[in-house]
Amino acid sequence: MPYGLWPAGFEVDRRKICLYLLNSNHPRGAAKAKFFIGVGFHPDEVWHLQDALCGHAVMANYRGITVAPFGLRYLFEGPFATPRGGMRKLRSVWQRDTENAGAAKFVTAIPL
């Protein structure tokens, strides 16, 4: 990847975790909540999942970059550390908006 395209960091909005990834009542996120809760993440400890997702966005898991309508999207696939000590395979997508030259924001995660 050309220097300068790599984000300055990776950020996960707490609301996306609380209202979507760890919400078993969410109409589209319930399956993901079942996965994440099943491997040991808990809605009362959101920071654990935030840290794990940011830890997944590393060069070893990097699979590509695409141009999206509002910026650059980064795709990562690879091992994902869980609170129970196991590793699961995960795909995560991040976006760095055109007007933001800094951190990439978490878009979604898909268990593989």
Q: What is the tens place of the pLDDT at every residue in 37-60?
A: 999 999 999 999 999 999 999 999
pLDDT of 4 > 70? The answer is no
In a domain, 2, yes or no: no
Structural domain span for residue 72: 10-111
Give the C-alpha separation, 37 to 99, whole Å. Answer: 34
In a domain, 4, yes or no: no
pLDDT of 3 > 70? The answer is no
Residue pair 19/26 in contact (Cβ under 8 Å)? The answer is yes
Give the C-alpha separation, 47 to 26, whole Å. Answer: 20
Residue with tokens 């990776």: 10
Question: Quick one: DSSP state of residue 16?
Answer: H
Q: Which two tokens stand for residue 73?
A: 């999207």
Q: Give the helix, strand, coil percentages of the chain, each rounded to 5.
A: 30, 35, 40
In a domain, 82, yes or no: yes
In a domain, 61, yes or no: yes
In a domain, 5, yes or no: no
In a domain, 77, yes or no: yes
pLDDT at 45: 92
pLDDT of 67 > 80? The answer is yes
In a domain, 1, yes or no: no
Question: Quick one: DSSP state of residue 35?
Answer: H
